[in-house]
Chains A and B, each alone.
Chain A
Amino acid sequence: MSDYLKAIYSLTRLKYKIFKNTIFKSENWSKIIAIILFLFVFLNTLQSSAFIVQYVKDNFEKNSELFHSLFEIILLIIFITNIIGTLTLSGSDYSRNFLRTLLLYPINFNRIIFYEIINGVVDIISLLYLPLYLGAIFLSGNNYSLINYLVVFIILLFFLLTISNIIYLFRNIIGLLSFTKHAKKITWVFSLMAGFSLVMVLKYLPDFLADKHNLILVSKYIEIFPTSVFATVLLESSTNFFSCFIIAISYFSIFNIILFLLNIYSAKMFKIKSYGKIYQKFSNKKSILTKLFINVAVNPFSKKDVAYTLRSIRTAPSHIMILFFLVIIPVTSLNDLVQYNQNITDQFSLSFLFISMIVLSFTANVFSFESNSIINYFYRPINYSAILKGKMFISNFYFLILSLGNLIIMLISKTKLLDAIFFEIAFLFSYLFLLLVSFPLSIFFPKKVSFTAMSGFLTSLISLFVFSIAAIIIWLMFYGYFQFYVVSVNKILALTCMFLSIIFFLYFKEKILSTIGKLLLIRKEKIIQVFK
């Protein structure tokens, strides 16, 4: 065991030094924003956990038969969002590279995996979820003794270790999937299934859980989940201390050992796949993509982006978004034609959400794919505004599909012509505004993303934060203007105002792009540094 502790100590020191060097390398104002963002998210999590505690305390009697079930379900939801949040928000590129480097040194493989899992517990994302789990202790409302608190704390550590083990296992499985021949197909199928399930869950779950019998039924099904074991410890340890402790310790120990063994196995497979040479039969036939690449007459940088997008398995969820638009929008907008005004706002909100995600994916970190080849953008004979125009290609394409889809739906739902025009102009205005926000973000907060990583958001957390604020502002602007449009007597005048704002954008398009291009020129050296 002492060898394991020594490995943990030396690897922690190594990671701390890497972290310190990364922080000191970034610019001061970027550090300040990062700290503010961190505090914001941390305080927000604290507040939401306090809110959940208060809400449940106010609405459910501790002695009611529903309390236990509800408690377990809340913990499970937090648990699932914790895992999804960690998988999607933290890049897997860093830990993979770290693992690859470590494997070159004479450190026992199992110890590295053990360290990685322990490290995952103190991972920043897990820390952000910690207040929610701590909130659960207060929610249980028990009068614990000091020993009770100690036991709960030990079980909480085991519980966090389980989460870390599960996240690590997911990462390994995702990494292994990316090496398979059918990785792309698997991603598409998985994203489709996940998206479809999400729609179904959002549609039916609230009604389903409104019935107390269902609530109890669900809690029975999830009894073997780690969250339910943790919930039982919290709720019953004050009355049934000894058996609770023994059951929980045994459960978490066995569960963690199994997960740890699975992690060692999957990490070994990952190592073999990433270092083993794969000999494959190679065809020199031109693929459809190559033929398209050669024959389509668009900016070569755009063509390259399309080829990269279709070759990358990471961007599949963005494509899926556009497919779901075709399902969700008609369902919501055609549901109730009587509530006409409300309908069009809902429709706009959903389209706006999709277009925000697409802009965020494709232009808020325009150089995410590049790695060393970033230099092509700076030494080739092309001006900076042409690069930006080329970079809009994919998002423009999606925007056109979305706005065409909206138009068709409005025609089906017999929307008035003026309203339809208003809607389309508002949509175009929002899209252009979001582009204006996203380009400087990609210039000031570029983030290198691994081409094969399936998880890991494309943009940096700071970009995501700034972009979200901008998106909320533009949505509120639209909403306010829409209310004005609905009550205004002269609708054509209101429409003209909106139209003029578009003209403003289009008239100054070149100037705006060249200004952003100048920003790119100023940040050139920094951007190259990030990617090389």
Chain B
Amino acid sequence: MNVLELENVVKTFGSRRVLDDLTFNISSGIIFGLIGPNGAGKSTTLNCITDLLNPNSGTIKIFGKELREDEIEIKKRLGILYENTDDLFIHLKGEEHLQFVGELYGIDKEKIHKRIDELFDYFEIEAHRQMLIEKYSKGMQKKIALASILLYDPDLIILDEPFESLDVLTVIKVKKLLKQLREKGKTILVTSHILSYIEDLSDEVAIINKGKIVYQSETKDIRNKIKNEITKETYQSLEEIFLELTQQNQIEDKTLSWI
């Protein structure tokens, strides 16, 4: 069953066509990696899925329904981590923010308290519980944004650059956590500029360029190709596929005149 379906989605900003008949599906219980160069349309795609932008045409179905059909219920099952942790109310304290999110998603008070305690402990930010979020470091803000999602246990989790600003130990922790969530049947859509993370985590990968999906494959296929290098079959790493399909392989030829 597909948890997320995008069909011929078009989004324009003035005369600029940022999403150009974008079509892809994500099936249940997998980690799906979406990669693309800057300006390829990744953030616009995520913003259309999460209802921050209205697509000009096309359909987006989440859990088999269009968002407008059952807006509140679908949004309750959807968790999103924004790249710049934009969703944080920075003039609330860490605990207050989690309390706010818990109440929005209709979790009962006792459960909220218990989960908040566990989350502060898990992300090791207990000492900053009563601190205003604006005073948190970038990494701590990322942790509290991640905690806000985990608090209400959504079925579809969208993570835009989840590893940015996190220290190595937390990255390892989060990767392990994402794999655990997949085992529990959750579906995760993740974007990252660090291709090795995507290669390591994802079950399926798609490359977006100029508002279109230009490549989609199961990660194990890429891994098989790598293995087949020994048997002298064509070998392409995810990085090479990415460079080829996004036409960025001429990067090496360019230089700056004064350097």
A: residues with CB less than 8 A from B are 282-287, 290, 293-294, 300, 303-304, 307-308, 311-312, 369, 371-373, 375-376, 378-383, 451, 524-525, 528, 532
Contact of B52 among A300, A303, A528 (CB under 8 A): A528
- Provide the B59-85 mask, 1 if CB < 8 A to any CB of A, else 0: 000000000000111011010101010
Q: Given A303-B100, A304-B92, decide whether A373 and B87 contact each other with a Cβ distance below 8 A.
A: yes
Contact of A376 among B72, B76, B87 (CB under 8 A): B87
Interface contact B91-A369, CB-CB below 8 Å = yes
Q: Given A308-B91, A372-B86, A451-B91, decide whether A284 and B130 contact each other with a Cβ distance below 8 A.
A: yes
**Minimal beta-carbon separation of B240 from chain A (angstroms):** 35
Selected A-B contacts with CB under 8 Å, 29 pairs: A284-B127, A284-B129, A286-B95, A287-B93, A287-B130, A290-B130, A293-B92, A293-B96, A293-B100, A294-B95, A294-B99, A303-B100, A304-B89, A304-B92, A304-B96, A311-B91, A312-B91, A371-B90, A373-B86, A373-B87, A373-B88, A375-B82, A379-B50, A379-B51, A379-B80, A381-B76, A382-B104, A383-B71, A525-B52
**Minimal beta-carbon separation of B162 from chain A (angstroms):** 17
Chain A hits for B228, CB < 8 A: none
Q: Please, which residue of chain B has its CB at the minimum distance from the CB of A371?
A: B90
Chain A interface secondary structure, helix, strand, loop or mixed? Answer: helix
Q: Given A286-B130, A300-B103, A376-B87, decide whether A525 and B92 contact each other with a Cβ distance below 8 A.
A: no
Q: Please, which residue of chain A has its CB at the minimum distance from the CB of B93?
A: A290
Chain B hits for A284, CB < 8 A: 126-127, 129-130
**Minimal beta-carbon separation of A66 from chain B (angstroms):** 53
Interface contact B52-A378, CB-CB below 8 Å = yes
Indicate whether B214 reaches chain A with its CB closer than 8 angstroms: no
**Minimal beta-carbon separation of A193 from chain B (angstroms):** 27
Q: Given A282-B131, A380-B75, A381-B76, decide whether A532 and B100 contact each other with a Cβ distance below 8 A.
A: no
- Give 14 new A-B contacts, CB below 8 A, not counting A284-B130, A300-B100, A380-B104: A282-B130, A284-B129, A304-B92, A307-B96, A308-B92, A311-B91, A312-B91, A372-B84, A379-B51, A379-B75, A379-B78, A380-B75, A381-B76, A382-B72
Chain A hits for B54, CB < 8 A: 524-525
Indicate whether B105 reaches chain A with its CB closer than 8 angstroms: yes
Chain B hits for A371, CB < 8 A: 90
In chain B between 156 and 214, which residues have their CB closer than 8 angstroms to a CB of chain A? Answer: none
Q: Given A304-B89, A373-B89, A532-B86, decide whether A379 and B104 contact each other with a Cβ distance below 8 A.
A: no
Bound together, the chains give a CA A312 to CA B90 distance in angstroms of: 12
**Minimal beta-carbon separation of B16 from chain A (angstroms):** 14
